[in-house]
């Protein structure tokens, strides 16, 4: 909303106040003045007369002007094409600061002293583009402040909160706010007019409850012409284009009262106005010459048969005011705001008018705005105004008296406000109230639809008293431990563990494309799809983080990042049996080298590196000896020979593997696990166990197996065949040939209560060797 401060001055006196200071006061009181324009500091800026202008000896376009500024003359260099002898101009003397921040100083331009600057309106921020310096009429007095010869209006651009759109989308509403901030009185505009002896001889019928109030009034013999200058100027300053006196007056009143009006050509309408809900499929051609198809959700004004206007949204072409219009029916009405909103959104016809209908209108202005229109039409369009008007009124105004006590106000604001302060503020707000023993019974005015409960009054008092007067203090509460809920703690622990291993945390978008959601699906989970996405790249909520991390990989690969070690922990969502489910995933991606030397050889990581990462993580989380890896050949986007499911307590929690070469040519490894599934298995508690005091014994053995034997099976069997003194088994060497596979194992024996003898270790060791050899038909190597 753009506010002309000159216009505001009609209602509340502000012409004696600096507009920037005022804007700050208003903003601090709660109505945000986002931008102030046109406010100029005229210190050291005067009207001057060019006495002489000669060509600058070192320039083709510069002129050396001798300028009279009243009591003295100055030599000023000017480059404007219209700088010439005899004109009266704006002179900025040294010391002046222009609105664009330029400080005027005495300077030397190509060898000649310039003692100021001749200004264009552009340089003063008064127009967007100037062709040359501004020329005054001859009657401008040299040496005076140029302000009085310029049409200067400071414009406020308001950034309104939704609760203040009811009142501050109008100059009168904003003027009330200004008057409250300044504590000044308010004058309402003139609304009187001469009543002619004819009546509004039309039949008004309203057949829907969605019309709350409807006035129709006839004016005759309008003369369509240009609006007076002040109306044109004010409309322009408030951001609307002047068209002709009649159209401009309806816009002027909308900007003045916030009440949109509609003018019908009375001769095109006929003698009936019937307001009703549209029939499904009913058509109207609107002012913009578009055919609109309506539904029974849209309110229409009809001539008894055909629609002539979509209520609150746009008029019909069949009843519009044009250059031949003589007689007008003025509509001043309030429609159901939700209906207007729905219709305007549906038809994509959002206008200044529909915006105001949508936020709600002051029922006390419906008639006032109508009268004001008559006043202006009589004055500026030579109209004759009917002696009466037609009205349908469905509003039952109930007086809402809000009770609030001084104690309640002070308790909520947390500062001592005196009774007299409250009285003063209520007076400034021009709220009606009765007070009794520091209790206030306040009647909310109809122009402030946002005021309805006690807390609203407290806020009004607080904001005008000044929140800067609140002294900060901490609440006194029962002691309570602060903490993370366990799920967040778990996530944060895993996150810092991953960072400590050299992985960087990513933050990616939850919305992905349909294509990605299908391509990277590995669980039987139904995607959640948006009803109205904004782009085809973001239509589905991801069920896993795989495509997101691949995107990050590709982004960085394109920027020549060789080594990529990233992870993300995020909630993902899916549908199961028509219910929406959440799952917290950890996904990691690794490519390249985790350790890099500039001049020494370091190795690229492989599957076993990333497997080590997940094993470290699982052991950190307390799942030692409770996890295993099982080959999975069925994940489409993964290398089927280098991919495994990860199981904890025999429940699948995720997978690890290498990306399929069709997805990624380079060696890229990923894992993803569900932290929610994982944390369902409780990790082991920390309990101290002292290391054995007795020495351990190591025994190594190597077998030739046939090709398909996997290490885990053999290790499990070794444990099974071994005595309880066998503490640990690892594979320390692997050698694969075309048709055989040799695995070397290192077995560690140790007892907690004695030093082991060679005999008991060898007995167990040999027993294991023979049983393994037998079970796998394996041969001992190097014998």
Partner 1 sequence: MKEQLETVKKEFETLNITSLDELEEVRISYLGKKGKITELLSKLKNVSKDSVKELGSLINELKREITEKLDNQKKQLEEEKLNSLLEHEKIDITLNGTFRKIGSPNPIEKVISELEEVFISLGFTVVEGPEVECDLYNFEMLNLPIGHPARDEQDTFYITDSMLLRSQTSPVQIRTMLANKDKTPIRVVCPGKTYRRDNDDASHSHQFTQMEGLLVDENISLAHLKGTMDLVVKRLFGNVESRFRPSFYPFTEPSVELDISCFRCGGKGCELCKNTGWITVAGAGMVHPNVLTGCGYDTTKYNGFAFGFGLDRLTMLKYGIGDIRVLYTNDLRTDEFSRRDN
Residue numbers 124-143 binding partner 1 by CB under 8 A: none
Q: Pick the binder of partner 1 from 61, 148, 228, 484 (CB under 8 A).
A: 484
C-alpha distance from residue 238 to each of 71, 155, 211, 231 (Å): 39, 8, 29, 10
Q: CA angle 39-40-41, nearest 5°?
A: 130
Q: Determine the size of the site formed for partner 1 (CB under 8 A).
A: 97
627's enclosing H/E stretch is strand 627-631
Cα(620)–Cα(493) distance, integer angstroms = 10
Structure tokens at 286: 């609107």
Query: In the stretch 347-386, what mask flags binding to partner 1 with x, by CB under 8 A?
Result: -----------xx---------------------------
Q: Which is nearer to partner 1, 287 or 511 (CB)?
A: 511
Spatial contact of 755 and 681, defined as CB atoms under 8 Å apart: no
**Interface with partner 1 includes 209 (CB under 8 A)?**
no
Task: Decide if residue 111 touches partner 1 (CB under 8 A).
Answer: no
* Contact in structure between 405 and 456 (CB atoms under 8 Å): no
- The answer to whether residue 233 forms part of the interface with partner 1 (CB under 8 A) is no
**Binding-site member from 420, 468, 759, 774 for partner 1 (CB under 8 A):** 468
Nearer to partner 1, 179 or 325 (CB): 179
CB of 22 to partner 1, least distance (A): 15
Smallest Cα–Cα separation from 313: which of 262, 342, 354, 352? 354
- Rg (C-alpha) for the chain, rounded Å, is 42
455 binds partner 1 (CB under 8 A): yes
Residue 556 in contact with partner 1, rule: CB under 8 A? yes
Q: Are 706 and 739 in contact (CB under 8 A)?
A: yes
- Distances in Å between the Cα of 675 and the Cα atoms of 488, 498, 619, 679, 776 are 11, 13, 14, 6, 38
In whole angstroms, the minimum distance from the beta carbon of 528 to partner 1 comes to: 6
Strands 432-436 and 439-443: antiparallel
Is 100 one of the binding residues for partner 1 (CB under 8 A)? no
Q: Which of residues 566-625 bind partner 1 (CB under 8 A)?
A: 566-567, 570-571, 573, 580, 582, 594-600, 602
187, 226, 382, 467: which one binds partner 1 (CB under 8 A):
467
Contact flag: residue 28 with partner 1 (CB under 8 A):
yes
How near is the Cβ of 23 to partner 1 at its closest, in Å? 11
Binding mask 488-507 vs partner 1 (x if CB under 8 A, - otherwise)?
x---x--x--xxxxxxxxxx
Helix axes 711-721, 758-776, angle to 10 degrees: 130
**Smallest separation (angstroms) from partner 1 to the CB of 413:** 5
Q: How far is the CB of 401 from partner 1 (least distance, A)?
A: 17
Q: Which parts of 141-170 interact with partner 1 (CB under 8 A)? A: 161-165
In 3D, which of 258, 265, 218, 210 has the Cα closest to residue 238?
258
Query: At 647, which helix (H) or strand (E)?
Result: strand 638-648
User: What is the nearest approach in angstroms of partner 1 to the Cβ of residue 566?
Assistant: 7
Query: What count of other Cβ atoms lies within 10 Å of the Cβ of residue 325?
Result: 19
Rounded to the nearest whole angstrom, what is the least distance from the CB of residue 29 to partner 1 in the complex? 6
DSSP letter at 21 equals H
| Contact (CB, 8 A) for 492 and 498 | no
CA neighbor of 699 nearest in space, from 735, 726, 724:
726
Degrees to nearest 5, angle at CA 355 with 350 and 361: 150
Question: Minimum CB separation from partner 1 for residue 483, in Å?
Answer: 6
Coil, strand, or helix at residue 679? helix
What is the number of other CB atoms lying within 10 angstroms of the CB of residue 54? 10
Among the listed ranges 53-61, 245-253, 258-266, 508-516, the one in contact with partner 1 (CB under 8 A) is 508-516
Q: Which is nearer to partner 1, 79 or 360 (CB)?
A: 360
Q: E strands within 153-288?
A: 155-159, 203-206, 211-220, 261-265, 272-277, 283-285
Q: In the set 60, 137, 281, 475, which binds partner 1 (CB under 8 A)?
A: 475
Contact status, residue 237 vs residue 2, Cβ threshold 8 Å? yes
Q: Which of 472, 665, 685, 758 binds partner 1 (CB under 8 A)?
A: 472
Which residues neighbour 609 within 8 Å (Cβ) at sequence distance 6 or greater?
Answer: 590, 594, 669
Residue 737 CB, nearest distance to partner 1 (Å)?
35
List the beta bridge partners of residue 97.
103
Q: Is residue 37 within the footprint of partner 1 (CB under 8 A)?
A: no
Minimum CB–partner distance for residue 435 and partner 1 (Å)? 21
Cβ proximity to partner 1, 510 vs 723, nearer residue? 510
Interaction residues for partner 1, span 672-711 (CB under 8 A): none
- Our finding on whether 554 is near partner 1 (CB under 8 A) is no
Between 511 and 615, whose beta carbon lies closer to partner 1? 511
Q: Which two tokens stand for residue 173?
A: 């509403």
**Nearest distance from C-beta of residue 336 to partner 1, angstroms:** 10
Give the shortest CB-503-to-partner 1 separation in angstroms. Answer: 5
* Closest distance of CB 416 from partner 1, Å: 10
Interacting positions 409-448 with partner 1 (CB under 8 A): 411-415
Stretch that binds partner 1, among 134-142, 212-220, 459-467, 755-763 (CB under 8 A): 459-467
Q: Which of 217, 232, 341, 585 binds partner 1 (CB under 8 A)?
A: 341
- Dihedral sign for Cα 26, 29, 31, 32, please: positive
Query: Under the criterion CB under 8 A, does residue 529 sit at the interface with partner 1?
Result: yes
């Amino acid at each position: 909303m753009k506010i002309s401060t000159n216009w505001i001055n009609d209602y509340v006196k502000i012409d004696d106040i600096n507009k920037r200071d005022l804007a700050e006061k208003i903003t601090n009181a709660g109505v945000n003045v986002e931008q102030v324009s046109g406010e100029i500091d005229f210190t050291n800026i005067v009207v001057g007369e060019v006495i002489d202008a000669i060509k600058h000896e070192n320039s083709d376009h510069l002129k050396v002007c001798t300028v009279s500024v009243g009591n003295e003359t100055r030599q000023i260099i000017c480059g404007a094409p219209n700088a010439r002898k005899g004109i009266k101009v704006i002179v900025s003397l040294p010391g002046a600061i222009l609105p664009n921040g330029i400080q005027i100083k005495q300077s030397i331009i190509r060898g000649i002293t310039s003692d100021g600057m001749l200004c264009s309106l552009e340089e003063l921020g008064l127009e967007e583009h100037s062709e040359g310096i501004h020329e005054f009429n001859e009657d401008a007095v040299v040496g005076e402040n140029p302000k009085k010869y310029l049409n200067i209006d400071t414009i406020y651009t308001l950034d309104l909160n939704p609760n203040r759109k009811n009142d501050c989308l109008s100059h009168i509403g904003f003027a009330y706010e200004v008057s409250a901030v300044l504590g000044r009185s308010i004058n309402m505009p003139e609304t009187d007019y001469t009543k002619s002896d004819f009546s509004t001889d039309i039949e008004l019928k309203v057949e829907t409850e969605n019309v709350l109030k409807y006035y129709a009034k006839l004016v005759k013999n309008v003369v369509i012409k240009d609006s007076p200058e002040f109306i044109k100027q004010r409309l322009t300053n408030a951001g609307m284009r002047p068209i002709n006196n009649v159209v401009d007056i309806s816009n002027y009143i909308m900007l003045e009262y916030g009440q949109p009006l509609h003018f019908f050509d009375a001769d095109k309408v006929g003698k009936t106005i019937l307001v009703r809900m549209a029939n499904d499929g009913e058509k109207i051609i609107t002012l913009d010459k578009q055919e609109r198809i309506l539904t029974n959700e849209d309110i229409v004004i009809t001539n008894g048969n055909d629609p002539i206007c979509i209520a609150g949204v746009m008029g019909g072409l069949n009843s519009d005011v044009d250059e031949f219009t003589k007689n007008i029916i003025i509509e001043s009405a309030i429609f159901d705001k939700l209906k207007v909103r729905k219709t305007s959104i549906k038809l994509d016809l959002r206008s200044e008018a529909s915006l105001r209908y949508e936020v709600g209108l002051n029922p006390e202005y419906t008639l006032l705005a109508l009268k004001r229109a008559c006043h202006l039409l009589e004055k500026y369009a030579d109209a004759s105004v009917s002696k009466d008007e037609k009205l349908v009124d469905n509003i039952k105004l109930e007086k809402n008296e809000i009770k609030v006590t001084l104690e309640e106000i002070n308790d909520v604001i947390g500062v001592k406000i005196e009774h007299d302060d409250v009285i003063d503020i209520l007076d400034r707000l021009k709220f009606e109230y009765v007070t009794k023993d520091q209790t206030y019974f306040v009647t909310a005015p109809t122009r402030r639809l946002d005021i309805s409960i006690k807390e609203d009054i407290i806020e009004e008092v607080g904001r005008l008293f000044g929140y800067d007067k609140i002294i900060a203090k901490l609440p006194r509460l029962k002691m309570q431990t602060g903490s993370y809920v366990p799920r967040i703690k778990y996530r944060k622990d895993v996150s810092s563990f991953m960072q400590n291993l050299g992985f960087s945390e990513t933050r990616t978008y939850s919305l992905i494309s349909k294509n990605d959601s299908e391509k990277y699906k590995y669980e039987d989970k139904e995607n959640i799809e948006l009803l109205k996405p904004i782009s085809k790249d973001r239509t589905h909520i991801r069920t896993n983080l795989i495509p997101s991390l691949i995107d990050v990989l590709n982004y960085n690969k394109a920027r020549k990042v060789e080594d990529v070690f990233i992870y993300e922990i995020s909630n993902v969502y899916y549908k199961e049996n028509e219910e929406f489910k959440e799952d917290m995933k950890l996904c990691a991606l690794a490519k390249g080298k985790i350790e890099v030397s500039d001049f020494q050889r370091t190795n690229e990581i492989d599957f076993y590196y990333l497997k080590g990462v997940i094993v470290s993580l699982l052991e950190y989380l307390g799942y030692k000896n409770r996890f295993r890896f099982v080959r999975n050949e069925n994940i489409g986007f993964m290398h089927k020979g280098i991919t495994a499911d990860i199981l904890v307590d025999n429940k699948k929690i995720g997978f690890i593997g290498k990306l399929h070469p069709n997805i990624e040519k380079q060696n890229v490894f990923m894992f993803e696990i569900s932290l929610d599934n994982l944390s369902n298995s409780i990790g082991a508690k920390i309990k101290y166990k002292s290391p054995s005091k007795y020495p351990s014994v190591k025994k190594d053995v190597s077998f030739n197996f046939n090709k398909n034997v996997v290490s885990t099976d053999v290790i499990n069997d070794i444990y099974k065949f071994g005595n309880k003194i066998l503490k640990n088994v690892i594979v320390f060497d692997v050698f694969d040939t075309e048709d055989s596979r040799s695995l070397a194992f290192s077995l560690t024996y140790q007892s907690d209560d004695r030093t082991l003898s060679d005999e008991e270790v060898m007995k167990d060791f040999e027993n294991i060797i023979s049983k393994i050899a037998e079970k796998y038909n394996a041969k001992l190597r190097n014998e």
